[in-house]
Amino acid sequence: MTQIEPIHIIGGGMAGSEAAWQAASMGVPVILHEMRPVRGTDAHKTDGLAEMVCSNSFRSDDHETNAVGLLHWEMRQAGGLIMEMGDRHSLPAGGALAVDRDLFSADVTARLEAHPLIEIDRGEVAGIPPADWSSVIVATGPLTSPALAESVRGLTGEDGLAFFDAIAPIVYFDSVDLSKAWFQSRYDKGETEEERTAYLNCPMDREQYEGFIDALLAAEKTEFKEWEGTPYFEACLPIEVMAERGRETLRWGPLKPVGLTNPHDPTVKAHAVVQLRRDNALGTLYNIVGFQTKMKYGAQAEVFKRIPGLEGARFARLGGIHRNTFLNSPKVLDGEMRLKAEPRLRFAGQVTGVEGYVESAAMGLLAGRLAAAERLGAPLASPPATTAIGALLNHITGGAEAATFQPMNVNFGLFPPLDLGIKGGRKRKRDRARAYSERAKQDWLGWLGKDAEAAA
Ligand SMILES: Cc1cc2nc3c(=O)[nH]c(=O)nc-3n(C[C@H](O)[C@H](O)[C@H](O)COP(=O)(O)OP(=O)(O)OC[C@H]3O[C@@H](n4cnc5c(N)ncnc54)[C@H](O)[C@@H]3O)c2cc1C
């Protein structure tokens, strides 16, 4: 019998652990490289595989009307190790799946160590893997070691790998002063009245704009220690970094005043306009467009309240920038998560631009199966975009805009629409979610080659 060459998996977190389990379960040997405890990260505290670095929740377990619950279901149907261990070590948490993180990680580690086809190598892979690793899954997560990240960047180009994700502040609608702000989309764009009035606009005259720029430049910023100097995607530069590039930069960027008329003062052209975009279906929250920032929280509230209309603003969330190494996947990965520039390297987990433990494990499950099938000489087609795993894959490898790509949780907005003639209302929303879930389950079982009765 010819020996099957191993798949090398780099990173033994949520994605790498699941990928190793899936590939080995298909009969393909795996060498799993995990750098801890030889080298640590800023968030991990143990040397266990699949360590949950912050919360201990896999979120909703409702597989009938919740997209993350549906992801749980799909992973269970595929014999996922992360879900099996999550279920085994679950804690009471209402409709959510909370997990005893220590028992969970210890059990994942023990199962992988005990598998005859899995070898665990504790050490950092500090650069592009050697040429004789002909099938590799990179699952090194949001805190990918700097040496590996730099090498990957050498392959993807400057805008192919980001080191941060950026969040703009969110304001409560009822705290915006509508005697100053007004609803209008730029150039009144949109098919419906709702689209034509999708933004709230806050006008600035020259003096207000200049004062705002001074305040931005002077505000206290969060220190980034060793990450200082690492690059951003151009599409999500912090607002103060844009201001540092020149006092007029913002007026040509997110604060450009064109295509907007202030109904409170129609004859006066604003010097600059801050736009807020609706952030939830209820219309109770608005995010300030382009205002991702690394100003300290106190400074943010002070600076943003200088914006006319936001003097009394209450913030549901302040802006922030977090360490998160992730690929511009829509640009650099093919439809099966392989790096276009070097297809022997497949990526999985949070580094592909999904967000969360469950989403990361799901991408590991898929990468493990795709790589193993390829190794066995019988490549698999990607799962349909109507499934939760397929919808995530479709989003990161093509559905999302490369220019503004930011990490994404699973949600029904990523699924191809189903025309059910259902509109509006809470109950209707649940009916719609149920229909999406039913379609997903059927299609997922089809992809797995399982029959529905056996799976029930
Ligand atoms: C501070 C912080 C808090 C978070 N909180 C939450 C939360 O509450 N809920 C949630 O759902 N998600 C949270 N996340 C996101 C979370 O990291 C992911 O959801 C999930 O852990 C990602 O899984 P992963 O397998 O892609 O990466 P990880 O689980 O991080 O696994 C990557 C592994 O790769 C290893 N590694 C890195 N570089 C190398 C290398 N060069 N060679 C060998 N090994 C390497 C690391 O040691 C690590 O074990 C948080 C992330 C951070 C950074």
Mark whether 113 and 82 lie in a shared domain. yes
Is 363 marked as a binding-site residue? no
Query: What is the rounded (10 degree) CA torsion for 5, 150, 21, 392?
Result: -120
The pLDDT of residue 267 is above 80: yes
Say whether both 150 and 286 belong to one domain: no
For residue 399, what is the DSSP state?
A: I
pLDDT higher at 414 or 81: 81
**236 located within any domain:** yes
**Overall number of domains in the chain:** 2
Co-location of 409 and 291 in the same domain: no
Provide, rounded to the nearest whole percent, the portion of the chain with pLDDT above 90.
72
Q: What is the pLDDT at residue 226?
A: 44
Please report which confidence band the pLDDT of residue 364 belongs to, taking 50, 70 and 90 as the band edges. Answer: very high
Of the three residues 269, 290, 318, the one that is the final residue of a domain is 318
43 domain residue, yes or no = yes
Q: Which pLDDT belongs to residue 165?
A: 75
**Whether residue 12 is found in the same domain as residue 133:** yes
Same domain membership, residue 159 and residue 131: yes
- Residue 140 CA to ligand 1 center (angstroms) comes to 7
The reported pLDDT for the residue numbered 407 is 83
Q: What is the CATH number of the domain that holds 447?
A: 3.50.50.60
The answer to whether the annotation marks 259 as part of a ligand binding site is: no
Please give the distance, rounded to the nearest whole angstrom, from the Cα atom of residue 375 to the centre of ligand 1.
27
Instruction: Judge whether 13 is annotated as a binding position.
Output: yes
As a whole number of angstroms, the distance between CA 19 and CA 364 comes to 5
**Cα 353 to ligand 1 centroid, rounded to whole Å:** 12
Residue type, 370: L
The reply to whether 402 and 265 lie within a common domain is no
Domain presence at residue 2: no
Query: Do residue 366 and residue 410 come from a single domain?
Result: yes
Last residue of a domain, one of 318, 336, 357: 318
55 lines ligand 1 (CB under 6 A): yes
- How many whole angstroms separate alpha carbon 259 and alpha carbon 418? 35
Is 93 annotated to bind a ligand? Reply is: no
Q: Closest ligand 1 atom to the C-alpha of 141?
A: 27
Could you list the residue range(s) of the whole structural domain that residue 270 is in? 169-318
Q: Is 12 in the pocket of ligand 1 (CB under 6 A)?
A: yes
Do 13 and 132 fall into the same domain?
A: yes
Q: Which distant-in-sequence residues (6+ apart) come within 8 Å of 66 by Cβ?
A: 60, 433
Give pLDDT tens digits for 67-116: 999 999 999 999 999 999 999 999 877 788 989 999 999 999 999 999 99
Residue to substitute in 140, 152, 322 for testing ligand 1 pocket (most ligand atoms within 8 angstroms of CB):
140
> Which 3 state secondary structure label does DSSP give 133?
coil
Question: Which of 276, 294, 318 is at the close of a domain?
Answer: 318
* 11-25, 122-136, 143-157, 158-172: range with lowest mean pLDDT: 158-172
Tell whether 111 and 232 lie within a shared domain.
Answer: no
Query: Is residue 291 a part of any domain in this protein?
Result: yes
Q: Which atom of ligand 1 is nearest to the CA of 11?
A: 34
> pTM here?
0.80
448: nearest Cα among 75, 20, 194, 172: 75
The percent of residues in the chain predicted with pLDDT above 70, rounded, is 94
Mean pLDDT of the region 367-393: 97
Looking at the domain assignment, is residue 68 inside a domain? yes
pLDDT at 1: 55
Residues 270 and 126 in one domain: no
